[in-house]
Amino acid sequence: VALELKNLPDYEKLVAMQRRFEDAEPAAIETCLLLLRVASDLFTAFDAHFTRHGISRGRFMVLINLMSADPEPVRPGELAERTGVTGATISGLLKHLEADGLIARAGVPEDRRRVTVRLTESGRTFLRRLLPDHFRRVRGLMGGLSDKQKETLARLLRTVRDGIPAVREP
């Protein structure tokens, strides 16, 4: 079942590898490579879009998460979890976003180690202008899939996600 993937090793090559490495499973390798490549190209495409709007992917992820919680504030640590980046990265992103006036940090009186972050009015305005365009792009991206297919894709992706620990192990 060759998948005719431009820019990826063709199936014959993978079968040849299988002969040399008994653990190689061509279908698994091919699908994994495709997933990584599609994701990589997708990141690149979104990044170009974000750059046009003067932000980065990381900053957008922070803003959209803050909006999702708005008007409730969010802790930096939770932003790190929700966006899948390091706490150190969040600190850097917040520094820039605060300098641009899009978010505001505030201390928490009950526990002075903590900080809360929320959108400023300026941040809300920024998102109100950006999101219609953004959502139109997402809609275009997924336009080729029916609702049922989107659901199937999500289910399969969650299964892949469950396998991620196997990649990290000893």
Q: Judged by CB, which is closer to DNA: 111, or 169?
A: 111
CA gap 132, 11 in Å, rounded: 41
CA gap 25, 30 in Å, rounded: 9
Interaction residues for its own copies, span 111-150 (CB under 8 A): 131-132, 135-145, 147, 149-150
| Angle at 157 (CA atoms; ends 156, 162), nearest 5 degrees | 100
Candidate residues 99, 110, 111, 166; the one interacting with its own copies per rule CB under 8 A: 166
105 backbone φψ class: left, alpha, beta (φ>0; ψ -120 to 50) = beta
CA gap 125, 53 in Å, rounded: 13
Three-state DSSP class for residue 119:
strand
Interaction residues for its own copies, span 12-31 (CB under 8 A): 13, 17, 21-25, 27-31
Candidate residues 15, 34, 106, 108; the one interacting with its own copies per rule CB under 8 A: 34
What are the residues binding DNA (CB under 7 A)? 44, 48, 56-59, 75-77, 84-96, 105, 110-115
CA gap 144, 141 in Å, rounded: 7
Q: Quick check: 42 binds its own copies (CB under 8 A)?
A: yes
Q: Quick check: 101 binds its own copies (CB under 8 A)?
A: no
160 makes contact, choosing from its own copies, DNA, none, with CB < 5 to 8 Å by partner type, with its own copies
Q: Judged by CB, which is closer to its own copies: 58, or 104?
A: 58
